Structure 1
Amino acid sequence: MKAIAVVVAVLGLAAAVPACAAGYPDKPIKMLVGFLPGGGTDVTARLLATRLSEKLGQSVIVENRPGAGGMIATAAVARSAPDGYTMLMASAADAAQHLMHKDLSYDLLKDFAPVSLVVTVPFALVAKPALPVENVAGLIELARAHPGELRYASSGMGSAAHLSNELFNTMAKTRIVHIPYKGVAEGVTAVASNQIDMVFASFPSVMPLAAAKKVKLLAVSTPYRTAVMPDLPTVAESGLPGYARYGWYGVVMPKNVPSDIIDRMNAAIVAVVSAPDVKQAFIKQGLEPKSTTREEFAGFLKDEVDQSTALAQASGLEAAR
């Protein structure tokens, strides 16, 4: 009798798991954002959450937990219950945090379940008005002729702008010097005022200055031309073959979330991001909509961590002690 009871209990438990997953979601879902409202991560999360709420029939609530370069929110999601009701709008910064903080309480590749990429963030390569170049090939030629004399701006060590330019330096065999600012916006302003030679920056931050002819738009950092400005060539096609570097935002959940729940969320995200009106809303924000399978996103995250690590080693960036 005891053995029969055990078998019945086990069968009952096995049957209960799919039933629970099949009813997902049956309560509101939290989407954590590690930055203040109004930034790219937050804008992406809110655009996605609104339509996911409609698609899933449950509210998807964006919760901002800013601080420590996004690590507070990331750590909170890593610690949350693996039930599918807490997820993170992760960003490219998450793939580089281990470079700055060796004592992280989580591992991006081991402690999370990738769900889907949502958007990529193309960077514009812009130069100061007085720089005597009109394309990437000309910039490389000038930089090689004057090693250590050209300077580029970024928002700090390990930032997207920093690593984008270090990849450029590595591939082009140039030595353009890093000048960190408090934010990319300050760096763009410095380029416009001829204080700094160049910067990789988001399109929203450079478009007004480009329209006013206060900066030169040389290329886009993605491997393909962007819908934001389709006539602008890529870095790869205008002088540096193989170059590709960009920001991104995507959804992850804690590890051990049931696979069918992840599949359900992935399907919902893919459907939302594929909708024409959602695509246009992202493009207007300078974002490129790009959903993936969960397996593709897992591979993408590994590549991002590997590339960030390699670039950090090449530029002498070490984890904080």
Structure 2
Amino acid sequence: MTTRLPRRRLLAAMSGTALACAIPTGWAQAYPGKKPIKIVVPYAAGGSLDAMSREVAARLQTQLGQTVVVENKPGAGTMLGTQTVARAEADGYTLLIASSSFVSATVFYRKPLHKISEFAPITQFANDNHMIVVNPAKVPVSNLSEFIAHVKANPGKISYGTAGTGTSPHLEGEEFAQLAGIKMLHVPFNGSAPGVTALVGGQIDAMFDAYTSAGPHVQTGRLRAIAVLGANRLIELPSVPTVAESGYPSYVRGAWDGLLAPAGTPPDIIDRLHAAMAHVLKDPQLLAAWAKRGLEPIGSSPAEFSAFLQQQLAINEKLSKSLGLQLD
């Protein structure tokens, strides 16, 4: 037997249902529920950003009282994993750990797989110092000047690896090659870890990479750091000068790291995640570990991060014109 509601009661019930669906606040207040939160890292496991992501995820789990898992999804110059998050439900349960390539990919690729507008910024949580490292058995140089001379003596034969095509290390390498008037062969990998493995094994000659991933091998002597790309020398490598100190004062580069959600994620969920990240970035153990790896904590607000992304977009558009670089 079917029970029919009077028209007035039926309309009231429908109105209440529509109102509940239209207001996300009550739903967001229950965030996070029992569903695990997934953080997508668009690089292979074992690299600099992957290590940072797992450190952040472990602490976010404590702050949110909910399971937080990291999923590595490399490919297409970081755009594969990025696109996955753009297409995910905007409920706060699928997030993206992004780096500088998040913006550069939208500029340097002819057909990018994502747009900045498809994401809701949460926070820029760090800046990551990069450096130029070589395999000393293949490239017997001690400083940047010797490296440039070596490359000029072997035009087009010296290879440099990066975390992927269109990533910040790739652009750093292209820009430096243009500035120094040298020609190198770019070899992209799906993240820092496989690139460092290839460099240690002698499959490539050099690498533009973060201290986080290449640093341990520098400390053991298997790799040699010849220049730091940032404005300051690294605490762990005080004898290694910056590129700016080595004769190229205009060249100061590095990468940023941030957390984003799909566009349309309710503001109160964004605020909840930002507040949790603010606590994460106060962890003294984390800060001490990052300082040793040349990482600078930031902790910007969603609005500040949004403005920063637009600034980075303008910088990349200018760089695209100067390099004349377009990727398929």
Is TM-score (shorter-chain normalized) higher than 0.5? yes
Could you say which residue in structure 1 is the equivalent of 2:123?
A: 116
Residue 15 of structure 1 deviates from its aligned partner by 9.7
- Tell whether the 8 Å contact from 1:221 to 1:244 is kept in structure 2 after alignment: yes
Distance, in Å, in 1 between the alignment partners of 2:327 and 2:140 is 37
Tell me the matched-pair count. 308
Distance, in Å, in 2 between the alignment partners of 1:189 and 1:112 is 37
Unaligned 5+ residue runs, structure 2?
A: 1-7, 190-194
C-alpha spacing 1:215/1:32, structure 2 compared with 1 (3 Å): closer
Distance, in Å, in 2 between the alignment partners of 1:175 and 1:186 is 28
Residue 113 of structure 1 deviates from its aligned partner by 0.6
Q: What one-letter code is carried by the residue in structure 1 that aligns with 2:79?
A: M
Q: 1:80-119 counterparts in 2 under 5 A? A: 80-99=88-107, 101-107=109-115, 109-119=116-126
Residue 263 of structure 1 deviates from its aligned partner by 1.5
C-alpha spacing 1:149/1:274, structure 2 compared with 1 (3 Å): same
Distance, in Å, in 1 between the alignment partners of 2:301 and 2:75 is 30
Match of 1:304 among 312, 317, 324: 312
Distance, in Å, in 2 between the alignment partners of 1:50 and 1:35 is 18
Match of 2:27 among 20, 26, 31: 20
Residue 78 of structure 1 deviates from its aligned partner by 0.8
Question: Cα RMSD over matched residues?
Answer: 3.9
Residue 76 of structure 1 deviates from its aligned partner by 1.8
Could you say which residue in structure 2 is the equivalent of 1:180?
A: 186
* Residue 283 (structure 2) pairs with residue 275 (structure 1): yes
Deviates more, 1:45-54 or 1:243-252: 243-252
Distance, in Å, in 2 between the alignment partners of 1:39 and 1:120 is 15
Residue 265 of structure 1 deviates from its aligned partner by 0.6
Q: What one-letter code is carried by the residue in structure 2 that aligns with 1:29?
A: I
Distance, in Å, in 1 between the alignment partners of 2:214 and 2:70 is 28
Residue by residue over 1:138-192, the C-alpha shift from the partner in whole angstroms, topping out at 9 and shown as x without a partner, is 579969x98968956233643433311333345xx431212123544377459x8
- Tell whether the 8 Å contact from 2:48 to 2:210 is kept in structure 1 after alignment: no
Q: How does the TM-score come out when normalised to structure 2?
A: 0.75
Distance, in Å, in 2 between the alignment partners of 1:149 and 1:84 is 46
Distance, in Å, in 1 between the alignment partners of 2:216 and 2:19 is 62
C-alpha spacing 1:53/1:305, structure 2 compared with 1 (3 Å): same
Could you say which residue in structure 2 is the equivalent of 1:63?
A: 71
SS in 1 for 2:114: coil
Q: How does the TM-score come out when normalised to structure 1?
A: 0.76
Q: What one-letter code is carried by the residue in structure 2 that aligns with 1:44?
A: M
Distance, in Å, in 1 between the alignment partners of 2:187 and 2:120 is 34
* Residue 49 (structure 2) pairs with residue 41 (structure 1): yes
- Tell whether the 8 Å contact from 1:166 to 1:311 is kept in structure 2 after alignment: no
Q: What one-letter code is carried by the residue in structure 2 that aligns with 1:175?
A: G
Unaligned 5+ residue runs, structure 1?
A: none
